Amino acid sequence: MSELKINLREAINFYRENLGNFIIYSLVPLLMGLAIIFFYKPLTYTDQKIYTFNILIEDPVLIENINEDYFFSARNLKETISRSNLSEEISLDADFINSFKIVSGHSDLNTLTDFYLESDLEALTQSLYYKPAEIDQFLNNLISKGNRFRAITYDKKNLEVGAAQIKVMMANLIDVINESISRDYDAGNINLKVIQNIDISSPLSSIDVNQINNRLLLIREYIDILSNQYSSFAPDINLQILLSNLDTNEELFNYIIQESEFHKSIMKKQINLDVEALDKRILKLEDKLNYLQGDKPTDKQLSSNSSNDVGSLNADASFIDRIISLSSLASSQEKQFLYINEISALEIKKISLESRLSNLELQSSFELSFDEAKTYLFNSLNDTSEQINEYIQIVKDTKKTSLIVPLSLNSPSGYIDNIIMPIIMILFGSLFFSFAILTIKFGLK
């Protein structure tokens, strides 16, 4: 047994004496490996200089309305270069503008999307007792939502710009694009536009009377929307005071049109037409509401169905159909609430119009001449419009969000990045090969 024992000191001395051979044995496979690497990737190898910036478009509407020409317009790129302090390094020309492209999807998610599209889920759907067609439709709908992902590509080409500078430039580009969208589109998405000042000639014509009436209706509608949906956005602007001023302006308008029976009759016809239109809208909504309420199951039926389902919680098609039925019921109830709220809003508008129609018969009296009353009315309407415009702008500024969200920046791999791992692997392999040769020689000694 003692003859089989390895003398540790003798082994260490052997490896020390053969250190030169160890280096030589290592150099042979190392040099061969390096030769293979540089043969396939010579020093003249130039990797792509394309950077990919993944983004997410928050508003799906923008996907259809915005294109490359808008994203990478000369205006946007000029502002981007200025913010990035790259005016000396980059020239705003056609070559630079064309170096930007935008493609669908996400550079890291496209592979996953392709996997789902190519997968055959027939066996899985059958095992779940569910319809394969509905599973396919669900997956297609899920994947189709991926069109909100975009990838902006930038070809650096021969520009002397570092990766850090490009990262800053791409971030600034997203900020500039978001600002352009906010400026050119309703980024706050409140669907309230700026109200222009009203300018009426004297004497009043029938067109002027209709214009003043439409302005009164528009201001009341805007005040109602701001009060119901955005009441806490601008505490310095009291909407109740604006509403009170509007009531006074309507009385003043009635006083002005009393000067002409013709104008007065026009207003009566217009208000009656508006009331009829509201009645028709209310009637249609009530029909829809009655239809939904007619399909609504009773509490007794729901209780019976629920008890049956609990008694047989089997993963079959009938149980899944019941879940879908209950989901449809919840959706139906939500629609009912929406219809009821819309009917209530229309009823309030109708009451307001009927009140105005009744006030036309009143002989309002103001200690003002008709000309003074008209001047006061126009100034008051314009002042109210300006305050509403200010309120709308505050709401938009508060609700303004980044419609394009940056996700990640993928930099192109450099030459060193491409060869460093193969070199490390060859180095360790060469050392192991040399150590193995010496170990064999020591064993045969």
What string of DSSP letters covers 354-373? HHHHHHTTS----SS-HHHH
Percent of the chain with pLDDT over 90: 7
Instruction: Quote the pTM value.
Output: 0.48
The pLDDT > 70 percentage for the chain reads 70
Going by C-alpha positions, the residue among 398, 401, 402 that lies closest to residue 229 is: 398
Residue 434 near residue 22, CB atoms below 8 Å: yes
Host domain of residue 78: 50-187
42 and 79 together in one domain: no
Instruction: Sort 45 into a burial class: Cβ within 10 Å, 0-12 / 13-18 / 19+.
Output: exposed
The length of the chain, given as a count of residues: 445
Q: Which two tokens stand for residue 379?
A: 């100034």
Q: Are residues 361 and 428 in the same domain?
A: no
Q: What is the DSSP annotation of 73-131?
A: -HHHHHHHHHHTT-TTT---SHHHHHTEEEEES-TTTHHHHHHHHH---HHHHHHTT--
- How high is the pLDDT of residue 76? 92
> What kind and span of H or E run contains 409?
strand 404-410
Q: Which of 185, 245, 236, 203 is nearest to 65 (CA)?
A: 185
Q: Which of 161, 183, 250, 238 is nearest to 213 (CA)?
A: 250
Alpha carbon 40 to its chain's center: 45
Is 406 part of any domain? no
320 in a structural domain: no
The residue among 177 and 396 whose pLDDT is bigger is: 177
Q: Is residue 289 part of a domain?
A: yes
Question: 166 and 101, same structural domain?
Answer: yes
Q: What residues have CB less than 8 Å from 126, skipping those under 6 apart?
A: 132
Chain-centre distance for alpha carbon 186? 13
- pLDDT value of residue 411: 61
**Is the pLDDT reported for residue 200 higher than 60?**
yes
Kindly state whether residues 103 and 163 are assigned to the same domain: yes
Query: Which of 128, 159, 187 is at the close of a domain?
Result: 187
Tokens found for residue 210: 């209709």
Is the same domain home to 378 and 393? yes
> Helix 206-229 to helix 261-294 angle, to the nearest 10 degrees?
40
Domain-located, residue 232: yes
Domain boundary residue among 187, 215, 231? 187
Q: Is residue 310 part of a domain?
A: no
Query: Phi and psi for 370 in degrees, rounded to 5?
Result: -65, -40
What is the residue whose two structure tokens read 């996997």?
115
Q: Using alpha carbons, select from 388, 118, 139, 271 the residue that is nearest to residue 380.
A: 388
Q: 155 and 33 in one domain?
A: no
The C-alpha torsion from 132 through 136 and 141 to 144, rounded to 10°, is: 180
pLDDT, one tens digit per residue, over 9-64 is 777 777 777 888 888 878 878 888 878 777 766 554 444 578 888 887 776 666 66
- Region of poorest pLDDT, from 66-80, 178-192, 407-421: 407-421
Say yes or no: 123 and 262 in one domain.
no
Query: Alpha-carbon distance 388 to 246, whole Å?
Result: 12
Distance of CA 443 to the CA centre of its chain: 70
pLDDT given for residue 254 in this prediction? 82
Assess whether 251 and 380 both reside in one domain.
yes
256 located within any domain: yes
Residues 59 and 28 in one domain: no
Residue 328 in any domain: the answer is no
Give residues with Cβ within 8 angstroms of 414, minimum separation 6.
Answer: 47
Q: Quick one: 214 and 81 in the same domain? A: no
pLDDT, tens only, 248-304: 888 888 888 877 778 788 888 888 888 888 889 889 888 888 887 775 444 444 444
Domains of the chain: total? 3
Which of 46-55, 65-74, 429-438 is predicted least confidently? Answer: 46-55
**39 and 55 share one domain:** no
Same domain, 238 and 372: yes
Whether 325 maps to a domain, the answer reads no
Residue-wise pLDDT for 78-114, tens only, equals: 999 999 999 888 888 888 888 898 877 655 555 545 5
Of 232-246, 283-297, 310-324, 365-379, the poorest mean pLDDT is in 310-324
Q: CA 47 to CA 417: how far, in whole Å?
A: 10
DSSP 18: T
Residue that has been written with the tokens 């020239």 in this structure: 91
